[in-house]
Amino acid sequence: MSDRYFENKFQDYIPSQSPIINEAFIKDLIRKYVKTILQNTDPGKYEINPRTRGDIYVGLAGIAFLFLKLSKSSMKDEYPSLELAEVYANAAKETIYLSGIRKHISLLSGNAGIFVVSAAVSKALNKSPENEIKSLLKGMEIFENPEYLDDGQDEMLVGRCGFILGLQFLNRELNADVISSDAMSELGHIIIESGRNYANEKNLSIPLMFQYHGREYLGAAHGISAILFSLLSIQLNEIDVKDLKTSIDCILALQNENGNFPSKFNKPDEAHLVHWCHGASGVIYLMAKAYKVYGEQKYLDSCIKCSELVWQKGLLKKGPGLCHGIASSGYVHLLLFRLTNDQKYLYRAMKFAEFLVNKIFLQEARQPDRPFSLFEGISGTVCFLLDLLNPHESEFPFMHVL
């Protein structure tokens, strides 16, 4: 028995005529989770204090993101979703003044993410997102300082990659370019230079590498895979493109036989985690995007290997969430469904949703520190369930592949 995941006892997919998606079951579960989220976090009931987190990862902006998503779903009429999104986004903005050290470009754990979500909510409400965008773009001055953070200045949670993914998300939400494509290319080039300098300094065999607290992570949360993922949507110069592709291929070469990727570049034998943050469930987004951009079969093969591993080892004991829980794994099946149109993956995603109410999961899975949040808690799980109702447009938050 593993201490990281529950054994997957589900029968794998056998083609049949019966519908794969049990809509009634999913909707009931969504209603149950949303009720719990509102009961425990409603900013109208709970006062903002210096300990309140406003960020996307575990704070109020993450819950605003969920209600924004709900407002675009088939369940939108069951809740005043957009109004709720605005209430949470406004409450999140109040925390900005309480957390001075976070006045930087952090998408998932800082102010940038709060402005990104607030701007998207304003736009959805037909209000001008101009103020939020102005505040967001102030972060670009910091972005251009080559050493603005000692640690992790390029990764997704606090660094430049997150800022870029936030801008790319806003471009789609606003249906307009928040910054010009030339300015975006410039930001991409700054990241590539940073990775190139680090790789040269350490004399590494890969053209680009990045560090977070001195560690060369590969996973999506702190590592190179999300950084390179963000760069694949940006117009870059020829030399940068070459180094980007070579670096992706170096990472691909690290995928082991069972389909996983090590957590760190310099420790290829340590590949125990199958999470979005560390391991195959996060690196898969880079391979999927590379498949879309370059059209080479090897990247799709890599995604399939990741997904087989997730089917075996993805019923995670760490809870229901996006970062290292059931939703992290469920989204891998949904991504494969989108890449291949194979019903098997939809079936697997449905089984993972069913596991959320399994007695063993309810009794033995760990309760996250922030149980209602987007990345650790059930807000992220609701995103996964909403996408299960609309799988052709499913998308892990901020990881736009197709």
What six digits make up the tokens of 269? 């034998």
Stretches 65-73, 101-109, 180-188, 274-282: which one binds Zn ion (CB under 5 A)? 274-282
Q: Which helix (H) or strand (E) holds 329?
A: helix 326-340
User: Nearer to Zn ion by C-beta: 152 or 207?
Assistant: 152
Q: How far is the CB of 275 from Zn ion (least distance, A)?
A: 5
DSSP sequence for 166-208? HHHHHHHHHTS-SS-HHHHHHHHHHHHHHHHHHHHHTT-SSS-
Phi/psi at 212 (5° precision) = -130, 115
What six digits make up the tokens of 65? 């993101």
Query: Alpha carbon of 12 to those of 124, 306, 331: distances in Å?
Result: 40, 16, 17
List, as residue ranges, the binding site: 277, 323-324
Stretches 33-41, 145-153, 250-258, 277-285: which one binds Zn ion (CB under 5 A)? 277-285
Distance in angstroms (rounded) separating the CA atoms of residues 220 and 202: 22
Q: How far is the CB of 377 from Zn ion (least distance, A)?
A: 12
- What is the number of residues in the chain? 402
List, as residue ranges, the binding site for Zn(2+): 277, 323-324
Distance in angstroms (rounded) separating the CA atoms of residues 53 and 92: 8
Q: How far is the CB of 176 from Zn ion (least distance, A)?
A: 32
What burial class does residue 359 get, using C-beta atoms within 10 Å of its C-beta: 0-12 exposed, 13-18 middle, 19+ buried? exposed
User: Nearer to Zn ion by C-beta: 107 or 178?
Assistant: 107
Q: How far is the CB of 80 from Zn ion (least distance, A)?
A: 31
User: Nearer to Zn ion by C-beta: 123 or 222?
Assistant: 222
**Count of residues near Zn ion by CB under 5 A:** 4
What six digits make up the tokens of 6? 């529950």
DSSP sequence for 73-130? STTGGGTTHHHHHHHHHHHHHHHHTT-GGG-S--SSSSHHHHHHHHHHHHHHTT---H
Among 70, 178, 277, 353, binds Zn ion (CB under 5 A): 277
Residue 84 in contact with Zn ion, rule: CB under 5 A: no
Stretches 63-71, 140-148, 276-284, 346-354: which one binds Zn ion (CB under 5 A)? 276-284
Stretches 193-201, 269-277, 280-288, 393-401: which one binds Zn ion (CB under 5 A)? 269-277
What six digits make up the tokens of 24? 């009634």
Q: How far is the CB of 283 from Zn ion (least distance, A)?
A: 13
Name 280's bridge partners. none
User: Nearer to Zn ion by C-beta: 104 or 275?
Assistant: 275
User: Nearer to Zn ion by C-beta: 323 or 353?
Assistant: 323
Q: How far is the CB of 28 from Zn ion (least distance, A)?
A: 27
Q: How far is the CB of 376 from Zn ion (least distance, A)?
A: 8
Q: Is 391 helix (H, G, I), strand (E, B) or coil?
A: helix
Query: What is the b/e burial string over 365-390, where b = at least 16 CB atoms within 10 angstroms of the residue's CB?
Result: beebebbbbbbbbbbbbbbbbbbbee
Among 323, 346, 383, 399, binds Zn ion (CB under 5 A): 323
Stretches 3-11, 184-192, 253-261, 271-279: which one binds Zn ion (CB under 5 A)? 271-279
User: Nearer to Zn ion by C-beta: 69 or 324?
Assistant: 324
Specify the residue for token string 């789609």: 172
Q: How far is the CB of 273 from Zn ion (least distance, A)?
A: 8
Among 93, 289, 305, 324, binds Zn ion (CB under 5 A): 324
Residues that bind Zn ion (CB under 5 A): 275, 277, 323-324
